[in-house]
Amino acid sequence: MERMKLDRKIVAIVAVAAVVVLITVAVLPGLLNSAEEDNELRIAISSDVNSWYLTAFPDGDARYVWAQVFETLIRLDTNLDMVPGLAESWYSPDNGLTWIFNLTQGVEFHDGSDFNASAVIFSYSDLLSAKQWGILSKINSTVALSDHTVQFNMKSAMALPYYLTHVAWPILSPNAANADGSWNGQVIGTGPFKLEEHVTDQEIRLVRNEGYWGEAPVLERVTFKVVKDATTRVMALKAGDVDMILKPSESDVDDLDDTDGIGVQTKLTTFTDFLQFNTKGDAHNLTTSPFQDLNVRKAVAYAIDTEALVEDLLYGYGEAARGRPYSPCMMFSDPGLPLYSADLDTSNWYMEQSGWEKEDDGYYYKNGTRFQATLMLSNEDAWGPRFNIMADAIQAMLGEAGMDIELVKVPTTTCNAKEASGDFSMIMRTGYFVWGAYPRHFLVHFQFNVYSHYANASYNALVTASDATNDLEVMEEKYLALQQAVIDGLPAFYLVHEYKIVAYRDWVKGYHMTAEDPWLNLNGVSVER
Amino acid sequence: MIAYALKRLVLLGFILFGITLLTFGLMHMAPGDPAFTIAEGRYGTDLTPEQVEQVRAEEGFDDGWWVQYQKWVSHLLELDMGRSLVTYKSVTSEIAARIPYTFVLAFTASIITFATSIPLGIASAVRKGRRQDVAVRVLSLVAASMPNFWLGLLLIWVFAVVLGVLPSFGAGGVAHLILPAFTLGISMAAINTRLVRSAMIEVLSQEYIATARMKGLDDWTIISRHGLKNALLPVLTFAGLQLGFLLGGAVVVETVFSWPGIGKLLVDSIMVKDFSMIQGCVLVIGATFAIVNIGVDLAYAAIDPRIRWDVDA
Amino acid sequence: MHDRKLKKRFLGSPTALVASGMLMVMAFMVMAAPLITSYDPLDVDLKDRLSLPGPEHLLGTDELGRDLFARVLYGGQNTLLIALTVAFMAFAIGTTMGLLSGYYGGVLDMTLMRFVDIMLAFPHIILALVIAGLMGPGLENLILALTLTHWPAYVRMARSGTLQVKEMTFVEAARSMRFSNLWIIRRHVLPNVSDSLMVMLAMDLANVIIIASALSFLGLGIQPPTPEWGSMLRAGVPYLTTSPLLTFVPGAFIFLTVVSINLLGDWLRDVLDPHSHEIEAVVA
């Protein structure tokens, strides 16, 4: 009898506990959601801001944040044309040897100090990254002609304005620097939003810059949440935990589009994913890359079906590059460039030219050794969730063609170390020297570039010539020749021209996508819940 | 008692020494030249051999390992664990920023654990061998067999994807805590239920319980007056082991839910081979675990001097 | 315990029967994978990705159009290979060390036990994670990392059992009769500790499966395209919203295997080692 009583008590306790738990689960989210502020936009991005200063290049999605806080002298509009930014106008009196910028007046930094010529000179001084990295090393000196006029003296002619559109090389206040030029910890830009708080690996909170010189932003706050995993970003958007996400996986786009209350915008960008070959082998002769042989590189180009990659893997959200190095939205991209089409017979023909024979197991052999190569990529997913699956598919496609490919997915630092020592045969990457529409990407195959694994004298000459002029006609001629040289010499095989994908809740009003990747234009965007 | 306490403290000191030695050793067994890795982080991939040598000299990699170890420990005593090889942030401050998150998660999971396992364990013990007992035993075994990453993903699927009522990632309000805390709490509750059950069965078979029964006290009074206290004592002894379970589980659960605790920091650091951060995390986790375990031993010995659990000491 | 008695009790226990039945079915499906499915687990078909279960693909296809059922069967071979190798290696090394250490005592015992203390001062999975992370992903590295972190628990168990047996009169007697130490260990000590070690091994096997698949899930195990339950789960996560089966199926296989082993281990403990403390078996 007493046992029964006890039993009932225990059942009652368990039942009460269960009810409490259920109520908590059901009610809490409702309570907490009311904490959202009106006119705050919460955006999920895939990587944290690694740097707030010009000594280090902002990696991955950090640039979307920089674009809100810092501004460049020249900006790009939706069609990637140059429009005034912190510079009202600019010209070169001598065809690219010197450049004169007239600065916008009445602009204040976030700390209230004036934006003027000395800020520009500071931002392009020798200590800071753009010059350290060698990209802007052709700047000989910068001179203030007046408080709001700056002259750049170049070592040789150069189309400088295109470079100055890059969001990674904006204008910072000299007040952010110590006397020796190192960073003093302050984040001082001129952008429409200013930094309120940065919690490492979690979020970056920005507030409206009330003294913004341009069109005043509608949003009061912008919070970037760092969510590395693409699926998690999608779920966060669906659950209303964030208002906007960047770079969802291509396989989620249709599903997002079909979801009530969620809008998706996609647009072709200037970024192109490519497979870079190690055509030099290893400096220390530790490994020998089979891709020193042009025939083998051609066999790869004919074995990879980039149209299938786009249609089947990316659900059409991308454009098959078929070897074309420049996205069609780039300057000078050649619409008449002859491209590759997947064709295993042709691939086989090229392999046989170099003495590779297919054996019963379906793989190529030469002198009894199986064809083996590595495909290396970063496991950090910073460029996009598609990389993983694309690498898997390429491994399968090349396997089908008879090449035994090992995937090496390693941290970016390991990737860099292996690349530096030549311990790889292919690397998959995207972008590189891509900013705006200006096609400087060819630098990546320039023999004396750190990222280059290609040595071709005539190619080098073309690259040097293309960067030594401000004459559009000469540039066009050189850039067309460079594209042909990539198709013929295959320093890399180009896979997919990327689509930028942004999804958002329909309470986000007034968002229009721009084509350039690191640019997130929040001008005129509001949140109306 | 004092002798026992001293013995334990000596053991603690020894274990802490061992942990530092092991952590230090692990990092030096890591493949690759640490000077190269650090230099690469500092100067980019376009490295000159001089830069690598400069780092080697600065960091003292040319010294013998014992000199390096002493240097490392002396920094450690000043709470200086160096800088991250990836972000250049101070390892100490980064870990300090993450610990509260792991603490909150572990604490909430423990509450869930005790709230479910104690009533279930008692119920099961009281009804030993009956249907209720079998149900609880099977249920706890099933729950203990669920890999927590899978359980976490299932909960995400149900509550974040299908129902859309709970956030699936990161820290924020209480809502963010629910899924990770339950994921961690459920498997721990499963184990704890079995502990409470077996401890309770043992207590219920004691003579004084039988005496109390003969005195005509009802079961509820017996359990609340005598049984519970005595049954919880052995359960609490395993608090140390449970902490280990919590910390180990936190690594996986924090990763699944992007919960910014020390476990996720460890996994992220392993992924990017941030050696100094890995070292810091392992050290802090190992030291916490060791200190709590010894602390539990001492507390237990103080409460119940009859029992000395340790067979080895 | 007598074999015949054990058999009788086994047949009389529905839990043991169901659990071992499940385990046998699972083991058969995994080992006889080529007989059960005609699909190659590595066969990519980009035209047929993420398809739903149907007559052609029993459980549908994965993110590269590979047959999910075939992958989960072949994947089990790798998962079980890892778990069995690790558990038996840890068991063999740990037991040997524990027996010797407990029997001979002295400096060897002292040193070994302090080392074991340090190893056990870390939560299991954390040490394994760090070692696997430092060595890099791969089957051999995973097995090595897990074995390195698993054997100390067996040392403790075998040693404490040995210490108890050592004091017993029959061992004392054997020693005084100058039987060789190894003979005594084999003849008297081992049989007396083997029951609890067997229970521990059974429980540990389940544990190893979980930890090994957790490491794979975190990206430190076998690399694609080779199937393995933990890494399949990891690969399925990006498709959780659209194709949850990719996550459910490998997880369910891990779960069913672990639950069967645990049920069996639970039963085994009740039979072989009824006085053992619950915790030793559960938190192995």
- Per-residue pLDDT of B188-212, as tens digits, reads 898 888 888 888 887 777 777 777 7
Q: Is the peptide bond before C53 cis (omega within 30 degrees of 0)?
A: no
What would the two tokens of residue B125 be?
């013990």
Q: Do B192 and B235 meet the contact criterion of CB atoms below 8 Å apart?
A: yes
Q: What is the DSSP letter of B90?
A: B
Please indicate, yes or no, whether residues B59 and B167 belong to a single structural domain of this protein.
no
Q: Do B285 and C122 touch (CB under 8 A)?
A: yes
- What domain range includes position B179? 94-259
Residue A345 has pLDDT above 50, yes or no: yes
CA-CA-CA-CA torsion for A402, A408, A409, A410, nearest 10 degrees? -170
| CA distance to partner chain B, nearest, from residue C121 (Å) | 6
State pTM to two decimals: 0.83
Residues B171 and B73 in one domain: no
Q: What is the pLDDT of residue A2?
A: 45
Interchain contact, B178 vs A225, CB within 8 Å:
no
Residue B311 lies in a domain: no
Kindly report the nearest CA distance between residue C124 and chain A, in angstroms.
25
**pLDDT tier, A30 (very low <50, low <70, confident <90, very high otherwise):** very low
User: Does residue B172 surpass a pLDDT of 50?
Assistant: yes
A217-271 pLDDT, tens per residue?
999 999 999 988 888 898 889 888 899 999 898 888 998 999 999 999 998 988 8
> A450–B45: do the CB atoms touch at under 8 Å?
yes
When divided into structural domains, chain B yields a total of 2
Chain B residues touching C219 at Cβ < 8 A: 271
**Taking CB atoms and an 8 Å limit, are C46 and A231 in contact across chains?**
no
Residue B126 and residue B188 in one domain: yes
For chain B, the average pLDDT equals 81
The answer for B 88-127 residues in CB contact with C (under 8 A) is: none
Task: Name the residue among C50, C219, C241 with its Cβ closest to that of A379.
Answer: C219
Three-state DSSP class for residue B114: helix
- Mean residue pLDDT across chain A: 86
Task: Tell me, yes or no, if A216 comes closer than 8 A to chain B by beta carbon.
Answer: no
* Cβ neighbours of B119 in A, within 8 Å: 10, 13-14, 17
Q: What is the mean pLDDT of residues B47-58?
A: 74
Helix, strand, or coil (residue B301): helix
Confidence of residue A488 (pLDDT cuts 50, 70, 90): very high
Interface of C with A (CB under 8 A): 42, 44, 46-47, 49-50, 63-64, 136, 219, 223-225, 237-242
The dihedrals phi and psi of A431, each to the nearest 5 degrees, come to 70, -125
Is the per-residue pLDDT at C280 higher than 50? no
Q: Kindly list the residues from chain A whose CB atom is less than 8 angstroms away from the CB atom of residue C44.
A: 392-393, 396, 400
Residue C31 touches chain B, beta carbons under 8 Å: no
* Residue B157 with chain C: CB contacts under 8 Å: 240, 244, 247
How far B193 CA lies from chain C's nearest CA (Å)? 11
Q: What is the pLDDT of residue B310?
A: 44
Q: What is the pLDDT of residues A39-72, one digit of tens each?
A: 899 999 988 898 898 877 788 889 899 999 999 9
- At residue A276, φ and ψ (nearest 5 deg) are -95, 130
Which of the residues A48, A224, A241 would you substitute to probe the B interface, choosing the one with the greatest number of B C-beta atoms within 10 Å? A241
Q: What percent of chain A has pLDDT over 70?
A: 88
- For domain C78-211, give the fold: MetI-like fold (1.10.3720)
Contact B37, B83 (CB under 8 A): no
Name the phi and psi angles at A410, rounded to 5. -135, 165
Residue B46 has pLDDT above 70, yes or no: no
Touching partners of C (3+ C-beta pairs < 8 Å): A, B
Can you tell me whether residue C123 is helix, strand or coil? Answer: coil
Instruction: Return the percentage of chain B with pLDDT > 90, whole number.
Output: 15
Q: Is A14 within 8 Å of B119 when comparing Cβ atoms? A: yes
Which site among C46, C62, C232, C240 would you substitute to test the A interface, given the most A Cβ atoms closer than 10 Å to its Cβ? C46
Residue B299 scores a pLDDT above 90: no
CB contact under 8 A, B170 and A32: no
Q: Grade residue A295 by pLDDT with cuts at 50, 70 and 90.
A: very high
Q: Are residues B50 and B112 in the same domain?
A: no
Interface of A with B in 494-523 (CB under 8 A): none
**Among C210, C214, C219, C212, which residue's Cα sits nearest to residue C261?**
C210
A·B CB contacts under 8 A: 120
Q: Domain holding B113: CATH number?
A: 1.10.3720.10
Least confident of A29-38, B117-126, B221-230, C111-120: A29-38
Say yes or no: B252 and B130 in one domain.
yes
Q: Which has the closest alpha carbon to C76: C113, C29, C131?
A: C29
> Is residue A388's pLDDT more than 80?
yes
Report yes or no on B266 lying in a domain.
Answer: no
In a shared domain, residues B294 and B208 = no
Report the SS3 class of residue A85. coil
Stretch C205-214: mean pLDDT: 92
pLDDT > 80? residue A130: no
Alpha helices, DSSP H, located in A228-340: 230-238, 253-258, 294-303, 306-308
Cβ contact, residue pair C46, A409, below 8 Å: no
Q: Are residues B133 and B76 in the same domain?
A: no
Asked, for residue B267, whether it belongs to a domain, the answer is: no
Reduced to 3 states, what is the DSSP secondary structure of residue A425? coil
- Do B214 and B252 have their domain in common? yes
Q: Does residue B1 share a domain with residue B119?
A: no
Provide the strand spans (E) within A51-107: 74-76, 82-84, 87-91, 98-103
Residues B108/B188, Cβ–Cβ less than 8 Å: no
Strand partners, C61: C67
Beta-carbon separation of B244 and C123 below 8 A: yes
Angstrom CA distances, C175 to A203, C159, C185, C190, stand at 69, 18, 11, 15
Let me know whether B122 and B171 are in one domain. yes
The answer to whether the CB of C60 falls within 8 A of the CB of C53 is: yes
Q: pLDDT category, C283, cuts 50, 70, 90?
A: very low
Q: Do A17 and B115 touch (CB under 8 A)?
A: yes
Do B67 and B129 belong together in one domain?
no
Whether residues B175 and A2 touch (CB distance < 8 A) is answered with no
Is the pLDDT confidence value at A10 over 60? no
Q: Could you give the C-alpha distances from A270 to A321, A323, A328, A380, A438, in angstroms and in order?
A: 12, 15, 8, 22, 9
Nearest to C46 among A229, A234, A312 (CB): A312
pLDDT by residue (tens digit) across A258-283?
999 999 999 898 889 999 999 875 55
pLDDT score, position B40 = 64
Contact criterion met (CB < 8 Å) for B312 and C254: no
If asked whether residues B5 and B58 sit together in one domain, one would say yes
Look at residues B271, B256, B280, A414 and name the one whose alpha carbon lies nearest to residue C129: B271
Query: Tell me, what's the pLDDT at B30?
Result: 63
- pLDDT (0 to 100) of residue A87: 95
Q: Which residue has the higher pLDDT, B205 or C204?
A: C204
Task: Give residue B48's pLDDT.
Answer: 66
Domain regions of chain C by residue span:
78-211
Nearest to B98 by CA among B242, B280, B225, B291: B280
ipTM of the prediction: 0.88
Per the CB < 8 A criterion, the answer to whether B39 and B52 are in contact is yes
Q: How far apart are CA A91 and CA A100, in angstroms?
A: 6
DSSP letters, C4-73, are HHHHHHHHH-HHHHHHHHHHHHHHHHHHTHHHH--S-TT---GGGTTPPP-SSSTT-B-TTS-BHHHHHH
3-state secondary structure of A111: coil
* Cβ contact, residue pair A229, C47, below 8 Å: no
pLDDT of A496 strictly over 90: yes
The residues, any chain, with a CB within 8 Å of residue A460's CB and separated by 6 or more, are A446, A447, A448
Q: Say whether A50 and B219 touch across the interface (CB within 8 A).
A: no
**Residue B309 located in a structural domain:** no
Confidence (pLDDT) at C281: 39
Q: Are B267 and C123 inside 8 Å of each other by CB?
A: no
Asked if residues A424 and A406 have their Cβ atoms less than 8 Å apart, the reply is no
Residue C256 burial by CB count (10 A; 0-12/13-18/19+): exposed, middle or buried? middle
